[in-house]
Structure 1
Amino acid sequence: MEATQYLRIALVFLSLVIFSRFSFAASKSSGFSIKLIPIDSSESPLYQPNLTHHERVERRVNITLAKAKLTKLRFTQNATFSDDKLLSVLDRQYLFYIAYMMIGNPVQPVYLMVDTGGHLTWTQCKPCINCFQQSYPIYNSQASSSYHRVNCDHPLCNYNEPSSVFRCVNGDCVYTITYGDGPTASGPTKGYLSSESFHFTNRDFDDEEFTVLFGCSNDNINFNFGNQPSNRISGILGLDLDPTSLVSQLHETIGGVFSYCIVPYDQNYPFDVHPHILRFGDDVQLPEGNIPTTPFISFVGRSFYYLDLIDISVGRYRLYLPPGSFDATLGHGILIDSGNPFSTLTTSSTSGLNVFELVTTAFSLHYDSYNLVRVLPHPTSNIRFNLCYVGREGFRDYLPLTYHFQGADYVVHSRFVHMEFNEGFFCVALMPSPFASILGAYHMQNMRIIHNTVINAIQFYEEECASDHF
């Protein structure tokens, strides 16, 4: 889809949520929330209780590596984004969050994979032509009094445009969407563009109901999460910059503000991961007084929140990077994406410096001064952290990491810079990237993150995120 169609660039969570100025909500809201469930949470349909701590970290590393590759591929594309070439491979290893949603009247529950690179939200829909395995009941459009098919005259049914996923068949707007390309592609999913009531929870635990356009998919093949007999996932929650995405449709309702707070992964050892609450509009309660605020940068045709990173400090040691080292106009900036498990730093900045190496060197000089023994995590490990040391009893001098953004310093507590392992070693939980740097979820623990498009800025402050729940 041509970049000229995109009215506003931004990212969710996540990488995250993207807004446009289209709104098709039925009414105004005082704010509402969605529960987002990471794959390692015991509430997740993809939860594997027998995985060790080591294996869970490996899975998060694999997700980070996969997303870094997809981010690089997106950057190397031209300004035309076609849905049949979406660089968003839908595999249970690569997608990090699952959303629990209620739709229809009477309500029907659905579990949807959260895809920040996806447009249209869709779920499997009876009566099926082809539907993949789903242990939860498949959404039945005929059982809902609020369900309606959308005709071809609707402004979002842009079937006349060359890159459109929509076609007009007997007056109905139908779609075909494939994710990825080649042998790793998922789909296609086919169905009817439809309108339906989506239900959300507000701060007073009341039901907020909005009419939203979505995909009623009755013909679906080649989705890996559908290969499991116990699968409960029925579709995709699209949160990118396209006008058909859920958050784009609700832009006016939420007033351009959303927020999340990531509960520390070690809150209930071992490695119990709590769901996060994605809060919208008035459900985001700002504290009194000034809070750290840094502007975000957006570009036509790029669906990311870029931040203006000036410098980095390791402990008290500031790198003093040359100005423009994170020049987002050249694709080497830093973006915020809570759907990325670990943060990455570029090995090839705009200034030509290997920022990842500079940062890890600063860490290594500190730990080497204590004569700590540097090790590889394990000969068969797939963790791939570059800097790991054998722990020492009583050692506590772990360093924090500071991102010096324009207008605000973002300090990552040392607890959330390092990853400790039962085998008696710890690692600096950073990963290299040949392209853009990413502020990921591990560096967002116990931090309230607010995306505020009213002032075009990211706001943040420390918070005990375990207290953020329905």
Structure 2
Amino acid sequence: MYYYPITFHLSLCFLIISINFHLLLHFSASEVTKGGFSVKLIHKNSPRPIMRSLYSYTPQSQTNAYLGHYLMELSIGTPPINIEGVLDTGSDLIWTQCVACKNCYKQLNPLFDPQLSSTYSTMSCESEQCHKLDTTLCSIQNHCNYTYAYASASMTQGVLAQETITLTSTTGEAVSLEGVVFGCGHNNTGSFNDHEMGIIGLGGGPMSLISQMGYSFGSMKFSQCLVPFHSDISISSKMSFGDGSDVLGDDVVSTPLVIKEDNTPYFVTLLGISVGDTYIPFNISSKSVEKGNIFIDSGTPPTILPQQLYDQVVNEVRNQVALEPIENDQDLGSQLCYRTRIIEEVPMLIAHFEGADVQLTSTQTFIPPKDGVLCLGLTNTSSDGGIYGNFAQSNYLIGFDLERQMVSFKPVDCTKQ
């Protein structure tokens, strides 16, 4: 879910596919590994800072995934109030809907009320954190008001504040993270559903959760292993932070992060995509490939490709699948879909990143938007760049090493991690 400053021109517009599958994930018990910590994500049926210290036990938090988004459950304030926000490597700000809300979308759980918390404090206009966002404005009360917009046309406005975030340790004790900067949203609009109470930004900018963690857990690293959305509800996946979150082994491939002026997205370089034995270069009309032409985003479900590359990949998949695609279905739009529950002869797709070939099976490439139908989990954009979405990230242990500026991929069965 890519963020852009509201005052900037939108450089990367993309389409959001509405794929109505029901999946809910929860963080469960975690373990300390070399000073870091890991959390398990357990899914179930659904109806629709600066840290105080390096703890000797591991915090845990619940995370849900619903309608293509992974939701992370935190407790905010004193006494703690549970918050579920979209886990998003494509943005930085941590925010939730707050009382009093002038214009809030409907959510199932109560809004966070800062007046009921003894640890809540607003950020002043003179604070360093107030100037770390591009779109802040000083209020008459000297509060640091913010506006934060996303390429999906979603937006939040409110006041920057500091709070205590509480997680639950593996020993069952409460773990308090003091002084976490977050957005208390009073005007929030866009493509949110009633399970989403905000967004937990995990991008590379200074306001994200991983940046506020800093070296509290030994190192600036995190990794994720997302179970496919159709997995059994009793099976968990795992996310790790700090030391011990390294992705290691014989099958690991790595690609360098590309540093750009916008330090929020995790940009990497995609050289091309293979469909079976057919290789399609990223820049079809040119021999050169721009560095950092795609970024890895857990907040966007489909992988989004420039129009020309998208057309060629879709046409090649169509040619290699021995089934008749669904035509003239208004619910499915222009997606490449088949009326089947399983496609036995699916071509292997390979994402050829710089230095890393990532193989994608039908688990990562075909998504069931409704019973008895499978659709290719790609969409297109008129932009020159793309987004590597969370469908393609499942069943891979993916590590973000922000010290070495590398992203590593290891194919694993995340249902057994």
- TM-score normalized by the length of structure 2: 0.71
Q: Residue 379 of structure 1: SS of its match in structure 2?
A: coil
1:174 correspondence with 2:170:
no
Q: Residue 264 of structure 2: SS of its match in structure 1?
A: strand
Q: Aligned runs of 1:24-103 on 2, under 5 Å? A: 24-29=50-55, 32=59, 34-40=61-67, 96-103=69-76
RMSD: 4.1
Q: Residue 339 of structure 1: SS of its match in structure 2?
A: coil
Match of 1:345 in 2: 305
1:105 correspondence with 2:78:
yes
In terms of mean alpha carbon deviation, does 317-326 or 337-346 score higher?
Answer: 317-326
1:405 correspondence with 2:353:
yes
Q: Cα distance, 1:156 vs. partner?
A: 1.8
CA contact (8 A) 1:32 1:280 kept: no
Q: Aligned runs of 1:232-311 on 2, under 5 Å? A: 234-254=197-217, 255-268=219-232, 277-282=238-243, 284=245, 286-287=247-248, 291-301=252-262, 303-311=264-272
Match of 1:416 in 2: 364
Distance in 1 between the 2:200 and 2:240 partners?
Answer: 16
**1:220 alignment partner, one of 186, 196, 202:** 186
CA contact (8 A) 1:35 1:277 kept: no
1:209 correspondence with 2:176:
yes
CA contact (8 A) 1:104 1:146 kept: yes
Match of 2:20 in 1: none
Q: Cα distance, 1:123 vs. partner?
A: 3.6
Distance in 2 between the 1:453 and 1:413 partners?
Answer: 28
Distance in 2 between the 1:407 and 1:290 partners?
Answer: 13
Distance in 2 between the 1:2 and 1:373 partners?
Answer: 40
Q: Deviations over 1:159-198 (max 9, x none)?
A: 9x9x55142655x5331436469xx675543x4x432221
Distance in 1 between the 2:70 and 2:4 partners?
Answer: 28
Q: Cα distance, 1:26 vs. partner?
A: 2.2
Q: Which has the higher helix share?
A: 1
1:362 correspondence with 2:316:
yes
Q: Which amino acid aligns with 1:200?
A: L
CA contact (8 A) 1:124 1:131 kept: no
CA contact (8 A) 1:112 1:234 kept: yes
1:205/1:404 CA distance change after superposition, 3 Å: farther
CA contact (8 A) 2:4 2:150 kept: no
Distance in 2 between the 1:35 and 1:454 partners?
Answer: 27
Q: Residue 164 of structure 2: SS of its match in structure 1?
A: strand
Q: Residue 303 of structure 1: SS of its match in structure 2?
A: coil
Q: Cα distance, 1:383 vs. partner?
A: 4.5
Aligned residues: 365
1:335 correspondence with 2:331:
no
Match of 1:382 in 2: 332
Distance in 2 between the 1:444 and 1:275 partners?
Answer: 15
Q: Residue 282 of structure 1: SS of its match in structure 2?
A: coil
Distance in 2 between the 1:327 and 1:356 partners?
Answer: 17
CA contact (8 A) 1:120 1:245 kept: yes
CA contact (8 A) 1:116 1:239 kept: yes
Gaps of 5+ in 2: 6-48
Q: Deviations over 1:278-301 (max 9, x none)?
A: 432136264456722121212112
CA contact (8 A) 1:119 1:241 kept: yes
Distance in 2 between the 1:421 and 1:328 partners?
Answer: 33
Q: Residue 267 of structure 1: SS of its match in structure 2?
A: coil
Q: Residue 298 of structure 1: SS of its match in structure 2?
A: coil
1:408/1:164 CA distance change after superposition, 3 Å: closer
1:2/1:137 CA distance change after superposition, 3 Å: closer
**1:147 alignment partner, one of 101, 104, 120:** 120
Gaps of 5+ in 1: 4-22, 41-59, 61-95, 348-353
Q: Deviations over 1:6-53 (max 9, x none)?
A: xxxxxxxxxxxxxxxxx633223576554432223xxxxxxxxxxxxx
Distance in 2 between the 1:361 and 1:336 partners?
Answer: 24
CA contact (8 A) 1:345 1:356 kept: yes
Distance in 2 between the 1:439 and 1:280 partners?
Answer: 21
Q: Residue 397 of structure 2: SS of its match in structure 1?
A: strand
In terms of mean alpha carbon deviation, does 295-304 or 275-284 score higher?
Answer: 275-284
1:439 correspondence with 2:388:
yes
Q: Cα distance, 1:324 vs. partner?
A: 5.1
CA contact (8 A) 1:400 1:412 kept: yes
**Considering only CA atoms, is the larger Rg found in Structure 1 or Structure 2?**
1
- TM-score normalized by the length of structure 1: 0.64
**2:324 alignment partner, one of 373, 393, 400:** 373
Q: Which amino acid aligns with 2:138?
A: R
Distance in 1 between the 2:371 and 2:117 partners?
Answer: 53
Distance in 1 between the 2:373 and 2:161 partners?
Answer: 53
Q: Cα distance, 1:220 vs. partner?
A: 2.2
CA contact (8 A) 2:87 2:299 kept: no
1:273/1:457 CA distance change after superposition, 3 Å: farther
CA contact (8 A) 1:385 1:427 kept: yes
1:276/1:142 CA distance change after superposition, 3 Å: farther
Match of 2:27 in 1: none
